[in-house]
């Protein structure tokens, strides 16, 4: 039996039933010396340091804060290569929509991925997962979506599974079955291929844990979403939806109607969408402020969502087009500064709620029985995290009770 424990000047964690919303959405802070103890990777105790069942192996009661590991539940890895020149063009006035052509945007990332060997893709992605680990991400989603053919999507899912097996953190794979209409195909033909071949094949081979659709005027429609949802449900795969990012489409309310685990982005979510998410028993509003920042986009109706009672999560949306950041502390800072989330509300949104979205019910909170995914942060209060955007506040990332030692810078 392996035992460990860490102590710090404070602790903060979400509590209560999930997904947390309304009164329970702010994490509870313990502004006094606190500790977490674990046995064989599972938390045995979390609370005041005085009550620790055995001596701490690390940390100090005078400094730092303990929080659950971050769960980044919207991530577009695997991809290969960057698109800084598109960013440069956007800064000078080009729009994301304009750059979304055969040579740019998602299509370009698709070509780059296709032209790279499996080993090259792995070598590109591994250090990025390490970077995420250093920034406290102990569970992560890996989305496909740059395949744009049945074969290449299956390959992306296989590469995601391979990355998951090697990564220092837990990874769940989402098949982003409808991301862009492949060149030379009609939208209807691709949706049919996704429904008849891609999703069933990915499910049979055990390559995907969830299915996602990008609903947008440059991508897929509500009818396409409904068709994909039906097939995903048949194969037992929970649904995720890219909803109302560039314009309003009604995707948020459709996501709720279809029982999706989350509606993501929501920059242009309508009042109906807000009401639907507020009343949704099981669809989380996944906010992606780093892509809002990078695109200079309008913010989602965050106050209205909160007031309606929506459950809120935050993720990086890490991808080479709209969000080249993979740091959850930075996404949390942007959620606070751009979206007005209180620091402790942002903590729940970055831990317990996204764990629920990914179906990882054994983590996201510091309490007995949960996996010992714990972060030792450098300052005592969690507000320090959003207060210092761009700084990495993580001193130690514990994954299942082991201090992670990710390679790299």
> How many angstroms separate the CA atoms of 184 and 197, rounded?
18
Buried b (16+ CB within 10 A) or exposed e, 257-284: bbebbbbbbbbbbbeebbbbbbebeebb
The span of 117-125, 200-208, 315-323, 351-359 binding Fe ion (CB under 5 A) equals 315-323
**Shortest spacing between CB 242 and Fe ion, in angstroms:** 5
Instruction: Show the binding pattern over residues 176-215: x = contacts ligand NIG (CB under 6 A), - = does not.
Output: --------------------------------------x-
Number of Cβ within a 10 Å radius of residue 24: 17
**Shortest spacing between CB 350 and ligand NIG, in angstroms:** 18
**Shortest spacing between CB 51 and ligand NIG, in angstroms:** 43
Residue 12 near residue 342 (C-beta atoms within 8 A): no
Residue ranges in 312-341 that form contacts with ligand NIG under rule CB under 6 A: 317, 319-322
The span of 7-15, 53-61, 311-319, 335-343 binding Fe ion (CB under 5 A) equals 311-319
Instruction: Show the binding pattern over residues 238-277: x = contacts ligand NIG (CB under 6 A), - = does not.
Output: ----x--x--------------------------------
Number of Cβ within a 10 Å radius of residue 57: 13
The span of 26-34, 82-90, 113-121, 317-325 binding Fe ion (CB under 5 A) equals 317-325
User: Which of ligand NIG, Fe ion, none binds 106 (CB below 5-8 Å, type-dependent)?
Assistant: ligand NIG
Q: Which is nearer to ligand NIG, 52 or 121 (CB)?
A: 121
Q: Which residue has 């989402």 as its token pair?
A: 174
> How many angstroms separate the CA atoms of 313 and 70, rounded?
11
User: Which of Fe ion, ligand NIG, none binds 291 (CB below 5-8 Å, type-dependent)?
Assistant: ligand NIG
- The DSSP line for 125-183 is HHHHHHHHHHTTEEEEEEE--S--SHHHHHHHHHHHHHHHHHSSSEEEEEEEEESSPPT
Residue ranges in 91-150 that form contacts with ligand NIG under rule CB under 6 A: 105-106, 109
> How many angstroms separate the CA atoms of 104 and 111, rounded?
10
Residue 215 near residue 249 (C-beta atoms within 8 A): yes
User: Which of ligand NIG, Fe ion, none binds 322 (CB below 5-8 Å, type-dependent)?
Assistant: ligand NIG
Structure tokens at 382: 């969690």
> How many angstroms separate the CA atoms of 215 and 225, rounded?
7
Q: Which is nearer to ligand NIG, 321 or 364 (CB)?
A: 321
| Residue ranges binding Fe ion (CB under 5 A) | 317
Residues found near ligand NIG in the complex (CB under 6 A): 76, 105-106, 109, 214, 242, 245, 291, 317, 319-322
């Amino acid at each position: 039996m392996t035992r460990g424990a860490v102590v710090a000047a404070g602790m903060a964690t979400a509590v209560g039933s999930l997904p947390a919303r309304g009164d329970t959405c702010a994490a509870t802070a313990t502004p006094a010396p606190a500790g977490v103890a674990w046995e064989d990777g599972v938390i045995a105790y979390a609370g005041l340091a005085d009550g620790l069942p055995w001596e701490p192996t690390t940390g100090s009661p005078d400094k730092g804060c303990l929080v659950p590991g971050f769960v980044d539940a919207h991530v577009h890895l695997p991809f290969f290569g960057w698109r800084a020149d598109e960013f440069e063009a956007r800064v000078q006035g080009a729009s994301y929509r304009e750059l979304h052509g055969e040579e740019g945007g998602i299509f370009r990332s698709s070509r780059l991925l296709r032209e790279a060997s499996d080993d090259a893709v792995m070598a590109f992605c591994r250090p990025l997962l390490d970077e995420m680990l250093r920034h406290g991400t102990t569970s992560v989603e890996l989305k496909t979506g740059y395949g744009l053919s049945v074969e290449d999507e299956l390959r992306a899912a296989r590469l995601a599974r391979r990355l998951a097996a090697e990564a220092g953190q837990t990874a769940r794979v989402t098949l982003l079955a409808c991301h862009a209409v492949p060149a030379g195909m009609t939208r209807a033909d691709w949706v049919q291929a996704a429904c008849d071949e891609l999703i069933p094949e990915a499910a049979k081979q055990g390559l995907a844990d969830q299915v996602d659709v990008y609903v947008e005027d440059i991508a897929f429609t509500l009818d396409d979403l409904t068709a994909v949802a039906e097939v995903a449900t048949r194969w037992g795969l929970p649904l995720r939806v890219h909803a109302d990012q560039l314009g309003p489409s009604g995707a948020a309310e459709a996501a709720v109607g279809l029982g999706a685990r989350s509606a993501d982005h929501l920059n242009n979510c309508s009042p109906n969408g807000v009401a639907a998410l507020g009343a949704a028993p099981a669809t989380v509003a996944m906010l992606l402020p780093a892509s809002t920042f990078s695109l200079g986009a309008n913010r989602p109706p965050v106050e209205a969502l909160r007031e309606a009672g929506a459950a809120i999560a935050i993720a990086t949306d890490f991808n080479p087009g709209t969000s080249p950041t993979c740091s959850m502390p930075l996404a949390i800072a942007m959620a606070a500064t751009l979206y007005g989330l209180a620091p402790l509300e942002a903590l729940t949104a970055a831990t317990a709620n996204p764990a629920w979205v990914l179906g990882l019910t054994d983590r996201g909170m510091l309490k007995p029985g949960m996996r010992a995914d714990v972060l030792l942060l450098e300052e005592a209060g969690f507000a320090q995290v959003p207060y210092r955007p761009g700084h990495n506040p993580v001193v130690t990332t514990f994954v299942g009770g082991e201090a992670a030692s990710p390679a790299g810078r």
